[in-house]
Chains A and B, each alone.
Chain A
Amino acid sequence: MISPLVYDVAHLLAGGMVLVSFMLLYQDRMHGLLNVFALHAVILALSVSWEAYIQDAPHLFITAAIALIVKAIIIPLALHRIVRRLNIHRSVETVVGIGPTMLAGMGLVALSMALMLRVTSAADALARQDLAFALSVVLLGLLMMVSRRNAVSQVVGLMSIENGLILAATGAKGMPLVVEISVAFSVLVAFIVIGIFLFRIRERFDTVDMQALDRFRGESQ
């Protein structure tokens, strides 16, 4: 039986991640977006350390440290640099308005809860809520990737999906440390590749607006 406090703190931190995912969707300025993303990673690190503490699994502290150092400090700082270098301090253009995006996000959260509560009826309450919230964070990250045009905010969406995956993995008990470290490094590598791509895209098309790519693929006139 889980004590109420253990559950409540886990609920608070995981719920906080869902909330920060919504803040990512709401935020329409580049630098603000990157700061909120750093906050997302900080809450992930807190949540993972809480899981490490209650599950008595010290290797999860390493996961938390990786999340804190790589995703809350290095990647946001690098993205800030890229944004300044690309000279895109202006607002993020969204494909649809903020209101409909928020409503769609609400629908996704409700969907993931309805789904996870039904699928994981055998697991304990803590794992169930972690899985449900993690699925919401992943779906919200996907929503962010499809609703934004700017390549940098799509990168932020991708990284927040990865945060959701780590939340799910720590909640489900038993992700080996090797996997976690390799995931962290692949994220870093992906980030470097994406960073190079951003500059290449801009060199080629003079913009990081993804709509410019549609025209070159012949999808729209």
Chain B
Amino acid sequence: MALITNFLVQGGQMLAVLLLAPLLTGLVRKVKARLLRRRGPPVLQPYRDLLRLIRKEAVVADNASWLFRVAPYLIFAATWVAAALVPTFATGLMFSWSADLIVVVALLGSARFFLALAGMDVGTSFGGIGASREVMIASLAEPAMIMVVFTLALIAGSTQLSTVAGYMMSGDVGLRVSLGLALVALIMVAIAENARIPVDNPATHLELTMVHEAMVLEYSGRHLAVIEAAAFLKLLLYVSLIGAVFTPWGVAQAGSGPAAYAVGVAAYVVKLAIGGILLAIFEIAIAKMRVFRVPEFLGAALMLALLAALLMFMTRSL
């Protein structure tokens, strides 16, 4: 019986992240538009975009290799698995034993690897600059992310996400400057990884500034739909990750009743909405920075995460 419940909860989570991801992106776009005094597309627009793209014919360049066609599915699969591992509304899921922060980082890293390869595959110049910029950003964002993971591991004594979330819920965390630094660093990494505004503009097709859009320029039809879905999932993943680690209130424990799961789902939806609204406010409040300033931005994230890990060595148990 417990096995079946676990299986159902895990399956529910996989479906939930898939279904909620376009909604989160739609919400961010809507809030941004309203704050700029535009009406903006409806919140459900990303679903319609995906459906339309799936029904359209996929046009592939003549010189595209098999990699170009396979890459979207690989990217989507890796991102989906990573998103399903993060404890969203319940901890102690069926795959919790593998829900390790380092696994999540590695899955996202391999998705990025295939995206950069696919960007370069057709041989257009846009794909090339997109891929090179993406890799430049990743080479700084990934160490910062790993340092955040180390800080959390030093605090909670584990890199396993459900253990970390459980530890954060228990009262013995206390007030820690390291956690604040890690949170800021993680937010900066999330902004860079999701191609949000100070680093990259998700709504532009201006070749001087785009990073993510440049890589997927050659894609169309169902391939593009899958890549877009992966991008939505990645945004949801980072918001859920920040929610699970830094605001784990309301998350249902393993083996609790249906009421706890209902509370967990409600809390999760509220957290997503708050995260999306905050992201939208942040994005309209700030200007896009030059590509050459991105290393400084991510260098600051790396520095904050490193400082957080260093300060952890000064603990009260000395």
Q: A79-124: which residues lie under 8 A (CB-CB) from chain B? A: 98-99, 102, 105-106, 109-110, 113, 117
Is the CB–CB distance between A110 and B310 below 8 Å?
yes
Q: Is the interface of B mostly helix, strand, loop or mixed?
A: helix
State which of A2, A16, A26, A98 has its C-beta within 8 Å of the C-beta of B177. A16
Binds B, one of A3-11, A61-69, A157-165, A209-217: A3-11
Binds B, one of A125-133, A178-186, A196-204: A125-133
Is the CB–CB distance between A11 and B316 below 8 Å?
yes
Answer yes or no: A12 CB below 8 A from chain B CBs: yes
Interface size class of chain A, counting residues whose CB lies under 8 Å from the partner chain: 20 to 34
Answer yes or no: A37 CB below 8 A from chain B CBs: no
B148 CB → nearest A CB, Å:
15
Assembled-state Cα–Cα distance A102/B302 (Å): 10
Closest residue of chain B to A26, judged by CB? B300
Assembled-state Cα–Cα distance A133/B317 (Å): 17
Q: Which residues of B lie under 8 Å from residue A19 when comparing CB positions?
A: 177, 181, 304, 307
Closest residue of chain A to B302, judged by CB? A102
Is the CB–CB distance between B178 and A15 below 8 Å?
yes
State which of B176, B177, B299, B310 has its C-beta within 8 Å of the C-beta of A102. B299
Is the CB–CB distance between A106 and B316 below 8 Å?
no
Q: Which residues of A lie under 8 Å from residue B296 when comparing CB positions?
A: 98-99
Is the CB–CB distance between B318 and A128 below 8 Å?
yes
Q: B249-275: which residues lie under 8 A (CB-CB) from chain A? A: none
Q: A1-36: which residues lie under 8 A (CB-CB) from chain B? A: 2, 4-5, 7-9, 11-12, 15-16, 18-19, 22, 26
Q: B271-311: which residues lie under 8 A (CB-CB) from chain A? A: 295-296, 299-300, 303-304, 306-307, 310-311
Q: Which residues of A lie under 8 Å from residue B313 when comparing CB positions?
A: 113, 117
Closest residue of chain A to B181, judged by CB? A19
Q: Which residues of A lie under 8 Å from residue B177 when comparing CB positions?
A: 11-12, 15-16, 19
Answer yes or no: B2 CB below 8 A from chain A CBs: no
Is the CB–CB distance between B310 and A113 below 8 Å?
yes
Q: A12-B176, A19-B177 are in contact. Are A125 and B307 (CB under 8 A)?
A: no
Q: A11-B176, A19-B177, A98-B299 are in contact. Are A132 and B314 (CB under 8 A)?
A: yes
Is the CB–CB distance between A129 and B310 below 8 Å?
no
State which of B174, B181, B295, B307 has its C-beta within 8 Å of the C-beta of A109. B307
Assembled-state Cα–Cα distance A33/B176 (Å): 26
A115 CB → nearest B CB, Å:
12
Closest residue of chain A to B314, judged by CB? A129
Assembled-state Cα–Cα distance A7/B251 (Å): 29
Closest residue of chain A to B178, judged by CB? A15
State which of A2, A11, A26 has its C-beta within 8 Å of the C-beta of B314. A11
B304 CB → nearest A CB, Å:
8
Q: Which residues of B lie under 8 Å from residue A5 when comparing CB positions?
A: 174-175
State which of A12, A22, A99, A110 has its C-beta within 8 Å of the C-beta of B295. A99
Assembled-state Cα–Cα distance A113/B306 (Å): 14
Is the CB–CB distance between B314 and A22 below 8 Å?
no
State which of B178, B181, B310, B316 has its C-beta within 8 Å of the C-beta of A7. B316
13 example contacts (A-B, Cβ-Cβ < 8 A) are as follows A5-B174, A7-B316, A11-B175, A11-B316, A12-B176, A26-B303, A99-B295, A99-B296, A102-B303, A106-B306, A113-B314, A128-B318, A133-B314
Would you list the 9 A-B pairs with minimal beta carbon distance, nearest first? A15-B177, A8-B175, A7-B316, A129-B314, A125-B318, A8-B174, A12-B177, A102-B303, A15-B311
Interface residues of A (CB under 8 A from B): 2, 4-5, 7-9, 11-12, 15-16, 18-19, 22, 26, 98-99, 102, 105-106, 109-110, 113, 117, 125, 128-129, 132-133
Extra A-B contacts (18), CB below 8 Å, given A5-B174, A19-B177, A113-B310: A4-B174, A5-B175, A12-B175, A12-B176, A12-B177, A15-B314, A19-B307, A22-B303, A26-B300, A99-B295, A99-B299, A106-B306, A106-B307, A109-B310, A110-B310, A113-B313, A125-B317, A133-B314
Interface residues of B (CB under 8 A from A): 174-178, 181, 295-296, 299-300, 303-304, 306-307, 310-311, 313-318
